[in-house]
Structure 1
Amino acid sequence: MTDNKRDFGLLNDKYVGVSEGKKSDNKDKREKERYLAGIGIATDLGFAIAIPLTGGALLGSYLDDKLRTTPKLTLSLIFLGLIISFLNVYNIIKREIES
């Protein structure tokens, strides 16, 4: 009788380990998906901020050189890029909250 209990215990441990392994795999998969989604959101936010600001600075500098209005257009377009960046970030966060 002692041997039967020991065998049953081994079988029970074996089956518990299999089901826990599947749960662990699903948990790892979900964590990986959440991690990759977080990286995607961070990338979106980075581009949403960097592109309008850089574009405003470069375009403003170019136009200031051509029109000889040295700081005016650069500062104005950087400010416009900042406003566009805030709107982009707001829309990205709003989209993520809704989904």
Structure 2
Amino acid sequence: MTWHKIPHSAIDSKKAIQQIKLAGKDFCLIYHEEKWHATSIKCPHAGANFTGGWCENGRLICPYHRHSFALGDGKGALGQYNAITIYRLEQKDSELYIELPESIFTKLANIFK
């Protein structure tokens, strides 16, 4: 896992749900109830992109079938039996960082250094 700085343009927009790509990884950056969250980009139920969804009461709602996921731990609603990935965020001064897994290519490159 490595930390990556999220571009200021994403943070300044405070758009409710936006798709970001860093280090070859797509994720959702979500601004809900004056707090930042980062989740996987697709719903595990049917693969819908969450950027077309919305948030209610601390939950991310899928735009296709309205499955909902807790922004805190990623767990689906009771009876859904699924979850999304939640990525750690850290604020340092006015910068926002996300912890993302290293790609297989980066791991291989590090082995052969």
State if a TM-score over 0.5 links the two structures: no
TM-score bucket (shorter structure): under 0.3
Structure with bigger gyration radius: 1
Give TM-score, length-normalised by structure 1: 0.28
Flag the structure with higher strand content. Answer: 2
